[in-house]
Amino acid sequence: MSSSLPSRPSRWLVQVCRHRSCDRGGSAAVLATFREHQGPTILIAESDCMGQCSAGPTVKIMPGNTWYCRVTAEDVPRIVEQHLGQGEWVRDRLHPRFHPPDPSD
Ligand code: FES
């Protein structure tokens, strides 16, 4: 699995699920923390259920179609700096359904 995202876009879209299961897991705090970093190059959006309820709070980032699972507010600064800033995945929060671990890593 490559550690780099395919592109460094002019604008990121971060979707944070606020539906029931993710909300119970703390997605309001995740969304609020992401919104502290919103700006011309980072758009933060609240989402309805993304179908990954058992692994929430769920965060999806476009472009690149990256899915993060079990995200906490404490993870957000790392995702902002590493993913949105440097174009590198935060591997320990990647959703394994969409980003299966590479045995060669
Ligand atoms: S409730 Fe968040 S993915 Fe379903």
pLDDT at 2: 47
Q: How far is the CA of 66 from the centre of ligand 1 (A)?
A: 15
Query: Is residue 68 within 8 Å of 9, Cβ to Cβ?
Result: no
Q: What is the pLDDT of residue 1?
A: 47
65 close to 24: Cβ distance less than 8 angstroms: no
Domains of the chain, start order = 12-93 (3.40.30.10)
Q: Note down pLDDT in tens along the chain; length 105 residues.
A: 445 565 678 899 999 999 999 999 999 999 999 999 999 999 999 999 999 999 999 999 999 999 999 999 999 999 999 999 999 999 999 999 999 988 776
Q: What's the gap in Å between 103 CA and the centre of ligand 1?
A: 28
| 39 contacts: CB under 8 Å, gap ≥ 6 | none
**Single-letter residue type at 77:** P
Chain centre distance of CA 66: 7
In angstroms, what is the span from residue 16 Cα to ligand 1's centroid?
A: 9
* Number of residues that this document lists for the chain: 105
Q: Cβ contacts of residue 54 below 8 Å, gap of 6+?
A: 21
The answer, yes or no, to whether any atom of ligand 1 lies below 6 A from the CB of 52, is yes
